[in-house]
Amino acid sequence: MKDSELAAIANPGEAGARAVGLFSGQPGVDTSITRTPRKLNVDPNARPPAREDGPRPIPRRFAGRNYEALTGTGTKGDGMGLQKSVETYGTAKIHVTRNVMGVNGEHWFEGDEVTDVPVNVAIQLVGDKSAYFDKREFKSEGEIEALEKLGYRVEPPMLKAKDRPEFASVVARKTSKWLAGTVQPSPGTA
């Protein structure tokens, strides 16, 4: 420690002495925090701005329900097997945003488009930000416009050029060795 730091600790000054007295419980030491009060108005029609890290949108017809997680059919009670889940909740189409373990132990990778996913599984993946619902799941309810007005992005995130099918032929081309001659001259050209 520097000498100036040691001196500040040894001689804390008036504010430091009051803080020490307050926190050590000495009688007769009072502190108060003063600040200027503000006058605030609350607009009941205002909506908070959409957050990039906020929850992903869920179609209205799926929202507001408690969903039972998938379990093995051999568990206590009936369990919520895959078939029972589809019959109870229906299916949806999702887009996977990070590698996850899907239904029946199948690996789902980032960028996969999975159809006929049980809604309870889709809700769990969307809640974990591992997937998002396909835009067509919102279309029948006219929700897309409302969500976009609130600032949510319902469109799928942009893909890198190497992952897009229209650029597959360009990515598959072999790269030329045009720099090879500049580093080591070809034999017979020196």
Q: What is the pLDDT of residues 36-94, one digit of tens each?
A: 888 888 888 877 766 667 678 888 778 888 888 877 666 666 677 888 888 888 899 99
* Alpha-carbon radius of gyration of the chain: 31
| pLDDT range class, residue 27, cuts 50, 70, 90 | confident
pLDDT at 29 over 90: no
Q: In what order do the strands lie in the sheet with 131-133?
A: 113-118, 91-96, 131-133
Q: Is 146 exposed, middle or buried (0-12, 13-18, 19+ CB in 10 A)?
A: middle
pTM: 0.49
Average pLDDT estimate for 97-119: 91
pLDDT at 189 over 90: no
Residue owning tokens 């049980």 = 118
Give 115-170 pLDDT, tens digit per residue.
999 999 999 999 898 999 888 877 665 666 777 777 776 666 556 667 777 777 76
**DSSP, residue by residue, 61-86:** TTTT---PPP--TTSSSS---HHHHH
Q: Which long-range contacts (CB under 8 A, 24 or more apart) does 50-54 make?
A: 50/150, 50/151, 50/152
